[in-house]
Amino acid sequence: MTVGPMLDEWYPVGIFGQLDEAGRKTMLMDEPIVVARDGNGDAKVTDSSGRILPVRVRYGHVWTSLGEPKKELFAIPEADQPGRRFVDVGVVRVRCSPLRAVENFLDIAHFPFVHTDILGAEPHTEVQAYKVEIREDVDEVWATQVQFYQPQAAKSASGGITTQYMYRVAGPTSTVLYKTCPPRPSEWDVITLFVQPLAEDLCDVWPWMALFDDDTPMTDLIHFQQTIFLQDRSILENQVPRLLPLDPGMEMPTRADLTSVAYRRWLKRHNYTYGAQLVAQ
Amino acid sequence: MMKLYDYILSPSCYKVRLMAALTGVKLDLRAVDFHPGLEHRGPELLALNPAGSIPILEDGDLLLTESSAMLVYLAAKAAPGWLAGSDAEEAARVQQWLSFSGRLTASLGGARLHEMLLRPGDIGVLQSQGIAALRELELGLVEQAERGKRFLAADRPTVADIACFPYVALAPDGGVSLDPYPAIRLWSRALRSLKGFIEMPGIHRLHELKPEPQLEAGGA
């Protein structure tokens, strides 16, 4: 398997605040790497031959690339907005394709069945029409005007509300969602899923959040998001086929799957195929 | 109110939450940042429990750090029917499975922490010890069924079932399949059907029983 153009993209490889000089041994797309803090306190990433890889420290995490990034790491302007709380949710390993982890994050229709009584509840199962586009200027997938009824949309929500969402795919394994911020209706809460591809069917997932919520203790914010993601994990580990199919085959997408369809199309257009299945089987 | 130092993803903490829910006891939950913060190894919690583990249960002057003791305490206070009766064999079986549950924690729990939260361990050894424990549990349930009993120690659920259930139900999180164990699956279903049952991430509630399908007369 050659990695192809995904080699030149940025990937999360650790929480910056948890680095030490001994370093964290991990993998990036089958390549062993070490993520450490050097004598100056800066993040340093090396591959198995000792080569120093490009590094960015952003959004609580260390980012690197095995290739030569043609673009700067994507921007999340909300990360610099005063008053937000930034939450490093912590790593969770999932035995699934990194692309499937992203695709699941983009899906709304599963909320009532997997995140019952939190992000959805029967009989409120309808996904209303929303808009999806590939924004050519920034080369990102965006879904907007998404809305869904949620019994407990956020830790800061006190009851059921109809939540507005925007979804954004900012890199092949990096996705950001913007959702109604219950305490501050004019702003969006930012919830991300940063996925570190270890192998084509194995990934470390690093959720991160930038929220307006002055009341909820940090631990409760972490646990809310861990609860949601761990409800997804067992589903992700049982998806068949293991790799994300990019060619039309046995699957029949519905209207609710428009974001997934656009994501797959975008992956295919860029030849981002690490973790993908190309010929329908 | 009893105070539980709790982590939403910990099967041992879930045992206590589940027992409390099944016996109608309200708990004051104090969330512990086990991951990624390692708060259970910090000075405040080590002062309560030098073993550095959670759950920890406080009720007045009583401080408990072993989940099996917490199950017994909750049952004794609120619903003694969950404890062993006066029958010697039943009492022994309850103790047997309460102790056995520690093996599930060490093996299946260790495999789960390794596979999910990247904690150190020899995954091959943890998984094979977990499989050995599951086989023993499966056999125990089959033998109970032959005695006409649906649960580990009696024909009613006891603290022993609650002590064993969470790590078993979450075995797939650690890469150990439950497919080979039909008796365990029936037992798990019986427990999940109990009035007052609550779920945790990775343990889903039973889907509402759907109405019987309308069979058309003369259909194929």
Residue A236 touches partner B, C-beta closer than 8 Å? no
Which residues, 6+ apart, have CB-to-CB distance to A9 below 8 Å? A65, A67, A69, A171, A172, A173, A272
Residue B66 and residue B100 in one domain: no
Provide, as residue numbers in chain B, all residues whose Cβ is less than 8 Å from the Cβ of A116: 205
Architecture of domain A1-73: Single Sheet (2.20)
- Tell me what pLDDT residue A280 has: 59
CB atoms within 10 A of CB A216: 16
Residue B115 touches partner A, C-beta closer than 8 Å? yes
Please tell me the total count of domains within chain B: 2
Q: Which of A18, A227, A234 sits opposite B8 (nearest CB)?
A: A227
| Start and end residues for every CATH 2.20.25.680 domain found in chain A | 1-73
Provide, as residue numbers in chain B, all residues whose Cβ is less than 8 Å from the Cβ of A89: 36
Residue B10 and residue B89 in one domain: no
Residue B125 and residue B161 in one domain: yes
Do the bridges between strand A276-277 and strand A244-245 make them parallel or antiparallel, or are there none, so unpaired? Answer: parallel
- B115:A15 CB<8 A: no
Residue B137 and residue B177 in one domain: yes
Query: Helices (DSSP H) in chain B: which residue ranges?
Result: 11-23, 43-48, 67-78, 88-104, 110-117, 123-146, 159-169, 182-192
Mutate to test the interface with B, among A231, A235, A238, A239 (most CBs of B within 10 A): A231
Residue B57 and residue B117 in one domain: no
Residue A239 touches partner B, C-beta closer than 8 Å? no
Residue B6 touches partner A, C-beta closer than 8 Å? no
- A234:B173 CB<8 A: yes
Cβ(B200)–Cβ(B14) under 8 Å? yes
Residue B31 touches partner A, C-beta closer than 8 Å? yes
- A95:B202 CB<8 A: no
Which residue, of B27, B53, B81, is where some domain finishes? B81
Position B74 pLDDT exceeds 90: yes
Q: How far apart (Å, rounded) are the C-alpha atoms in residues B189 and B109?
A: 21
Residue B213 banded pLDDT, cuts 50, 70, 90: low
Return the SS3 of A46. Answer: strand
- Mean pLDDT, consecutive 10-residue stretches, chain A (281 aa), reads 90 96 96 96 96 98 97 97 96 98 95 90 90 96 94 82 94 96 92 98 98 95 96 94 87 89 96 90 53
Position B219 pLDDT exceeds 60: no
Q: Give the count of Cβ contacts less than 8 A between chain A and B.
A: 58
Which residue, of B81, B115, B136, is where some domain finishes? B81
CATH code assigned at B156? 1.20.1050.10
**Is B212 among the domain residues?**
no
Kindly write down the DSSP assignment for every residue of A58-127, as one continuous string: ETTEEEE-SS--SSPPPP-GGGG-TT-EEEE---EEESS-HHHHHHHHH--TTHHHHSBTTTB-TT----
Residue B209 banded pLDDT, cuts 50, 70, 90: low
- Tell me what pLDDT residue A151 has: 87
Position B217 pLDDT exceeds 90: no
CB atoms within 10 A of CB B213: 6
**Is B210 among the domain residues?**
no
Interface of B with A in 126-185 (CB under 8 A): 172-173, 175
| Start and end residues for every CATH 3.90.380.10 domain found in chain A | 81-277
Residue A233 touches partner B, C-beta closer than 8 Å? yes
Position B220 pLDDT exceeds 60: no
Residue A51, token pair as written in the block: 């080569």
Q: Characterize A11-37 residue by residue with b for buried, 16 or more Cβ atoms within 10 angstroms of its Cβ, and e for exposed.
A: bbbbbbebbeeebbebbbbeeebbbbb
Largest CA distance in chain B: 72
- Tell me what pLDDT residue B218 has: 59
Residue B42 touches partner A, C-beta closer than 8 Å? no
Q: Which of B36, B116, B202 sits opposite A93 (nearest CB)?
A: B116
Which CATH code for domain A81-277?
3.90.380.10
- List the Cα angle A107/A110/A111 in 5-degree steps: 100
Kindly report the backbone phi and psi dihedral angles of residue A120, in degrees, each rounded to the nearest multiple of 5, phi listed first. Answer: -175, 165
**Is B56 among the domain residues?**
yes
Quote the domain boundaries for residue B94. Answer: 84-192
Position B211 pLDDT exceeds 80: no
